[in-house]
Amino acid sequence: MSGGLRWRRRHAARRGAWQDGWYRRARRVPSPNFGPRPPGLPVRLAVVHSISLPPGRYGGDAIERFFTNQLDPAGHPYFAGLAGVAVSAHFLVRRGGEVVQFVRVDDRAWHAGASVWRGVPNCNDYALGIELEGLEGQRFEAAQYRATARLLRDAASVWPVAEVVGHEHVAPGRKGDPGPGFDWRRLARLLRRSMK
């Protein structure tokens, strides 16, 4: 499953999980780093990323500060290289399974950069960005897989999201996350169960 996965969408009555593009099961931390999606281009892809700030350190508020342009570049030597960088994702899934949302699904988050999937460039235009708290190539927690599967299931009940891939798949050679530590088969099993 090195190229992500597809699943059959089912339109179960899960629309109540959303309010104006915000996920009711997520903690809201609005980011200023977003823009409008191109008209007529549906949200049909999810891109999984991994992030920890500084690398390998979990917990704390550094990721949230980074996505909201409040990260102090003097707070850690690694942060100096991030000064002035304006990025975001729609969601962050913490190690314990907590979901944090930064950008409404109907808006375009700045997560994939130069990217292409199935010949269509600019994945930010038509994708959800899901950051998993973790280190590229390392393993992720069971709670993160469960929360990600639930999030994808709930998103697919409102938007035509039917494929999930890694950043490494849409920007090969430039990005490597989430990397070999991410268990695509495990996510596929959870998605199959949750879509029944």
Annotation says 131 is catalytic: yes
- By CB atoms closer than 10 A (0-12, 13-18, 19+), residue 8 is exposed
Cα-Cα-Cα-Cα dihedral sign, residues 17, 37, 86, 156: positive
Angle formed at CA 55 by CA 49 and CA 60, multiple of 5 degrees: 90
Which of 131, 133, 163, 168 is labelled catalytic? 131
Q: Are 91 and 51 contacting, i.e. CB atoms less than 8 angstroms apart? A: no
The answer, yes or no, to whether the previous bond of 160 is cis (omega within 30 of 0) is: no
- Enumerate the active-site residues: 131
